[in-house]
Chains A and B, each alone.
Chain A
Amino acid sequence: MSVSVDVRDVSKRFRLVHDKYNSLKERVIHAGRIPHEDFWALRDISLQVNEGETVGLLGHNGSGKSTLLKCIAGILQPTRGEIAVRGRVASMLELGAGFSDELSGRANIFLNASLMGMPKREIESKIDDIIEFAEIGPFIDNQVRFYSSRSETRLGFAVAVNMDPHILLVDEVLAVGDENFQRKCIDKIRSFQKEGRTIVFVSHAPDLVRSICDRAYVLDHGKIVGHGSVQDAISILRDFQMAGSSLVNDPNDPLHAKAPVKLSTHHNSAEKRVLISNLEIQGESTGASAPIQSGDSATLRVGYEVVNYVPVEVILGIEILDAKGETVYRGDTATLEMPPLELSAKGNVLVRLSALPLGEGVYSIAVSLIDRHGGTLLDWKSMDNSVKVLCPQKSSGVLALNFSTFVEQEM
């Protein structure tokens, strides 16, 4: 199998300049001593993506995954090292980049496609497909300034997928747009996979990566900290996320502050001392599998099993993500200064969530158990995109908010 993307010892340095001196006068005055800090967004990254593979790049915000994708796309140049990319690349990093408000949708298709390197003749032969895919219809000859941002995104996506790329670079753009369009995007990506095209996929949403990618790399602070099957990569990512979010923040306890996260590329139950055997949520006024009413209290039932029957003290963490994989809530018993839980044998931990203020939509809830002594992640489990919340209000957004108005008139 031949290599499609070959990243060779790539490092990328950003200069964080505290005050930007962009005028001649300032440059002369501050010549040679412009205050700056070097920030290495990527350090010695080497990876290969074979032809026809779908590879995910996982990492939390600031891990460098997007920078790496931009380097592969050629938007950023690596400071050191090089990247060889074989075949035509379509990047969906920023859809509709370079659309000009003043031009019609049709003219913008030409501009955008030629920006991506498509010859004019080819654009002409594909323009009908692009217009159809974008579902813009008769508005294609209107100026783009009159398009909604969704229409603009759709148009950008339509151009990108019709590029007939050998390699597709995707970065979280799927988060934009309505559900219908998201499904269409994912369908398109799957058909690309079937056609044997190479895809590099960057996302926050582990479940999306899980459903699409063959394997994944995990980035943290500009380095590759693990790679393997998607399942392994996601657990590595969880380890890092848990470490970053709850334990490092606790400066009082030196043991916890520098908690070394064990980097296990495989989580098998033999290593674990506690297992989360079951996870379910139930709204107070609704049944077990029914959607939860917004504002209703809910009970999260975490079934656990202590291996070897040695009692452990654990920190319980909860994370709620919205459909796009953005964190809506994250908290754990340690940072919330609640007593640790003592678990032994097996049973359920009941977590009462009072008056869930979530807006209508589908959410993921993840629960993690962390050893209070040593800070290792014992186990985690998530209900990916399966927690439905119904909201009787006609508002939108992840937050269900009650508000009332009153006019206070000044005399």
Chain B
Amino acid sequence: MLGQQKSSDFFGTGSRVGDEELPIHLVSPRVGVFARLGSIWKHRGLLFSLVGKEIRVKYKNSFLGFAWSMLNPAMYILIYYIVFQKILRNGIPLFAIYLSTGLLVWNMFQAGVQGGTGSIVNGSALVKKVAFPREILALASVGAAFVFFLFQVVVLVTFLVIFHVAPALNYLWILPFGLFAILIIASALSIFLSAINVYLRDMQHLVELLLLAWFWATPVVYTFLTLKVGLAHRGLTMWYLLNPVTPVVLLSQRALYARVSPMGTNHQIVHVLPNFSPGWFMQAVGIEIVVGAILFMGALYVFSRLEGNFAEEL
């Protein structure tokens, strides 16, 4: 009202003189969601710098460097392989590849959300001293998770070549969109949780626990088909598929592992993957992107409401 009045004054003086048009930055307790989107875009260079920093800092001064980002999932795959294939004898052929196609997608989601939740608190040195759109810290965590994902993809591709597994091209082209959907949803959660975490520091631990449960609610280690009958019987299929990571994990498995019903290790046909059509995946991914975008805006709104006291709370 009063501020509005004065603000038009302010812009007026600027243009009357008619000198070069300078961008006007408004510091105020209310910054709209779209204005935030604009400033994120303007600071995209910073986003890349922060992602680069996170990656470089993580393995700086460590002997094996980047190798760690691959050794960690490799260890998981080895352990799951021994436990599920050798001890529990699940009979899935090329289980290591089945596992890694799902695990890499999951890891990206998990690392993004986990890192994003702590990002503002961990970046307090910056938040207290420099002005920039703070949500970029959360986005940088997701970005770093994506870069680590790309490193791990190199390993996966090597595996695929060694074991002569050809990807299903009619599904493969949807996968980048699926990954994009996961990144949007992870970003939305990161932004939301990072702001909450400033006020409730144990959010970080809570998120860790929830992600553990979430992991087992996603068909990464086991197959979707083992649950399918049980879920359908209880009418839970819809609920199970509401987990946004599941369709993308299934898509990654369908595109890269690419065997719906291969010959098992004990010479029997094993049904590994559900026979969803490319159309089904396209639809699922499309919905996820739309829902993700809405969640993202919602997260920005919550963030802008909580951001005002960050510098003091940290």
A-to-B contact residues, CB < 8 Å = 1-3, 6, 8-9, 14-15, 22-25, 27, 70-89, 91, 93-94, 97-98, 100, 102-103, 107, 110-111, 114-120, 166
**How far does the Cβ of B103 sit from chain A's closest Cβ, in whole Å?**
29
**Option from A15, A25, A86, A100 in Cβ contact (under 8 Å) with B312:** A15
Taken together as a complex, chains A and B put the C-alpha atoms of A103 and B54 apart, in Å, by: 10
Taken together as a complex, chains A and B put the C-alpha atoms of A278 and B43 apart, in Å, by: 56
Beyond A70-B311, A119-B45, list 19 extra A-B contacts (CB 8 Å).
A3-B14, A8-B3, A27-B200, A71-B27, A78-B28, A78-B29, A82-B7, A84-B7, A84-B24, A84-B26, A84-B27, A85-B24, A85-B27, A98-B126, A102-B56, A103-B60, A115-B46, A120-B45, A166-B22
Q: Please name the residue on chain B nearest to A73 by beta carbon.
A: B131
Which A residues are CB-close (under 8 A) to B125? 97-98
Contact A103 B27 (CB under 8 A): no
**How far does the Cβ of B118 sit from chain A's closest Cβ, in whole Å?**
13
Taken together as a complex, chains A and B put the C-alpha atoms of A70 and B52 apart, in Å, by: 28
Which A residues are CB-close (under 8 A) to B161? none
Contact A24 B308 (CB under 8 A): no
Which A residues are CB-close (under 8 A) to B56? 102-103, 107
Given contacts A15-B312, A23-B202, whether A83 and B28 have CB atoms under 8 Å apart is yes
**Option from A82, A89, A94 in Cβ contact (under 8 Å) with B28:** A82
Q: Please name the residue on chain A nearest to B50 by beta carbon.
A: A111
Given contacts A84-B7, A103-B53, A114-B45, whether A89 and B25 have CB atoms under 8 Å apart is yes
Contact B27 A77 (CB under 8 A): yes
Q: Please name the residue on chain A nearest to B43 by beta carbon.
A: A117
Which B residues are CB-close (under 8 A) to A85? 24-27
Does B10 interact with chain A (Cβ within 8 Å)? yes
**How far does the Cβ of B192 sit from chain A's closest Cβ, in whole Å?**
16
Which B residues are CB-close (under 8 A) to A6? 6, 10
Contact A86 B14 (CB under 8 A): yes
Contact A24 B46 (CB under 8 A): no
Which A residues are CB-close (under 8 A) to B312? 14-15, 76
B28, B61, B309: which has the most chain A beta carbons within 10 Å?
Answer: B28
Taken together as a complex, chains A and B put the C-alpha atoms of A94 and B73 apart, in Å, by: 40
B6, B129, B309: which has the most chain A beta carbons within 10 Å?
Answer: B129
Contact B202 A24 (CB under 8 A): yes
Nearest first, the 8 A-B pairs at minimum CB distance are A74-B131, A97-B129, A82-B28, A87-B22, A83-B27, A94-B129, A114-B49, A114-B46
Does B307 interact with chain A (Cβ within 8 Å)? yes
Taken together as a complex, chains A and B put the C-alpha atoms of A114 and B53 apart, in Å, by: 12
Taken together as a complex, chains A and B put the C-alpha atoms of A299 and B57 apart, in Å, by: 58
Which A residues are CB-close (under 8 A) to B22? 86-88, 166
**Option from A27, A88, A111, A116 in Cβ contact (under 8 Å) with B53:** A111
Given contacts A84-B26, A102-B60, whether A75 and B49 have CB atoms under 8 Å apart is no
**Option from A76, A79, A120 in Cβ contact (under 8 Å) with B311:** A76
Q: Please name the residue on chain B nearest to A48 by beta carbon.
A: B10
**How far does the Cβ of B151 sit from chain A's closest Cβ, in whole Å?**
19
A14, A73, A115, A120: which has the most chain B beta carbons within 10 Å?
Answer: A115
Contact-residue bracket for chain B: 35 or more
Contact A115 B14 (CB under 8 A): no
**Option from B17, B29, B52, B130 in Cβ contact (under 8 Å) with A98:** B130
Contact A9 B42 (CB under 8 A): no
Does B13 interact with chain A (Cβ within 8 Å)? yes
Q: Please name the residue on chain B nearest to A1 by beta carbon.
A: B17
Contact A15 B309 (CB under 8 A): yes
Contact A78 B53 (CB under 8 A): no
15 A–B contacts from the bound complex (CB under 8 Å) = A2-B13, A6-B6, A8-B3, A24-B200, A77-B28, A83-B28, A97-B125, A97-B130, A98-B129, A98-B130, A100-B57, A102-B57, A103-B57, A111-B50, A118-B45
Beta-carbon contacts under 8 Å, B5-48 to A: 6-7, 10, 13-14, 16-17, 19, 22-29, 42-43, 45-46, 48
**How far does the Cβ of B44 sit from chain A's closest Cβ, in whole Å?**
9
Contact A23 B200 (CB under 8 A): yes
Which A residues are CB-close (under 8 A) to B23? 86-88
Given contacts A91-B131, A98-B129, whether A84 and B25 have CB atoms under 8 Å apart is yes
Contact B61 A102 (CB under 8 A): yes
**How far does the Cβ of B68 sit from chain A's closest Cβ, in whole Å?**
15
Which B residues are CB-close (under 8 A) to A89? 25, 131
Contact A24 B203 (CB under 8 A): yes
Contact A110 B49 (CB under 8 A): yes
Contact B26 A82 (CB under 8 A): yes
Q: Please name the residue on chain B nearest to A80 by beta carbon.
A: B29
Which B residues are CB-close (under 8 A) to A3? 10, 13-14
Contact A97 B126 (CB under 8 A): yes
Taken together as a complex, chains A and B put the C-alpha atoms of A116 and B42 apart, in Å, by: 11
**Option from B19, B128, B202, B309 in Cβ contact (under 8 Å) with A2:** B19
Given contacts A82-B28, A87-B22, whether A117 and B57 have CB atoms under 8 Å apart is no
Does B206 interact with chain A (Cβ within 8 Å)? yes
Which A residues are CB-close (under 8 A) to B27? 71-72, 74, 77-78, 82-85
**How far does the Cβ of A287 sit from chain B's closest Cβ, in whole Å?**
48
Taken together as a complex, chains A and B put the C-alpha atoms of A118 and B27 apart, in Å, by: 19
Contact A22 B10 (CB under 8 A): no
Q: Please name the residue on chain B nearest to A99 by beta carbon.
A: B125
Q: Please name the residue on chain A nearest to B19 by beta carbon.
A: A2
Which A residues are CB-close (under 8 A) to B76? none
Taken together as a complex, chains A and B put the C-alpha atoms of A81 and B3 apart, in Å, by: 7
Given contacts A2-B17, A72-B27, whether A84 and B45 have CB atoms under 8 Å apart is no
Contact B14 A117 (CB under 8 A): no
Does B2 interact with chain A (Cβ within 8 Å)? yes
Taken together as a complex, chains A and B put the C-alpha atoms of A254 and B144 apart, in Å, by: 64
**How far does the Cβ of A96 sit from chain B's closest Cβ, in whole Å?**
9
